[in-house]
Amino acid sequence: MAKNRKDEVPGASRGRGLVIIFGILDVFCAAFLVISLIASPGSPVSASVPVETLPAFEENLDHYGAAADNSETYTSGNSVVYNSPTAPETTAAVPETTAPTVPAAEDSTQLYAGFLFPDSATVLITEAEIAARANSKELCQRAINEIYARHGYQFTKQENLDYFNQYAWYVGMPKVTDQEIISQQLNGIEKTNVATITNYMTARNWG
């Protein structure tokens, strides 16, 4: 014959209830301890992140001059501080300029003003100088005329008179109308220069 619940040991059911209550309390305590540890501000949590090398880099290690070390780890606790560089002050450069040189007006009172070759009485004239200063029939003829004008030759062509009469050095000197007399007064350098200019003109059919 089965036993009636009244046959159970008194207090057994109450003991099982206490065990269940204590079990629940233990679970809550354990959960609270875990939450406390996680939420604790002083507990450092660092995760190791392995440094991986890209396959493309591994295939070209020889070109970079150093072997890759895959054993290094980087911890998340490390911090990197980047200081933004201050942009240097710049000053706009002002290009140095020079005022253009304005040629002074020729002084008509200056000795031998208007000459193409002022030193033709003391310096031999070269063909290069003629090409640079008197590269035309008119200018070559003027270069010869100025040698004669230096000795006071009285020109017969009005254009020559108009040109040399604008210079005080020519107006104030005595004039000679005989070209042969003037030719005899020329020194050796002047005669050579006349011949050089004449030959330059002849070579170009400017006679």
Q: pLDDT value at position 28?
A: 72
Q: Is the per-residue pLDDT at 56 higher than 60?
A: no
Least Cα distance to 191 among 152, 162, 148 occurs for: 148
User: Could you read off the pLDDT of 132-155 as tens digits, one per residue?
Assistant: 999 999 999 999 999 999 999 999
Classified as helix, coil or strand, 70 is: coil
CB atoms within 10 A of CB 146: 22
- For 196, phi then psi, to 5°, come to -65, -45
DSSP 69-89: -TT-EEETT-----PPPPPPP
User: Could you read off the pLDDT of 159-206 as tens digits, one per residue?
Assistant: 999 999 999 999 999 999 999 999 999 999 999 999 999 999 999 999
Q: pLDDT value at position 187?
A: 97
Least Cα distance to 169 among 113, 119, 92, 207 occurs for: 113
- Listed in order, strand segments (DSSP E) in 55-132 are 73-75
Q: pLDDT value at position 112?
A: 81
Q: pLDDT value at position 114?
A: 87
Residue 154 near residue 176, CB atoms below 8 Å? yes
C-alpha 12/C-alpha 83 separation (Å) is: 73
Higher pLDDT, 16 or 92: 16
C-alpha 44/C-alpha 78 separation (Å) is: 12
Q: pLDDT value at position 33?
A: 73
* Confidence at 86, pLDDT banded by 50, 70, 90: low
Instruction: Return the bridge partners of 73, or none.
Output: 50
156: its two tokens:
């017969």
Percent of the chain with pLDDT over 90: 44
Higher pLDDT, 126 or 62: 126
Q: pLDDT value at position 30?
A: 72
Radius of gyration (C-alpha) of the chain in whole angstroms: 58
Q: pLDDT value at position 128?
A: 96
Instruction: Return the bridge partners of 50, or none.
Output: 73
C-alpha 195/C-alpha 44 separation (Å) is: 107
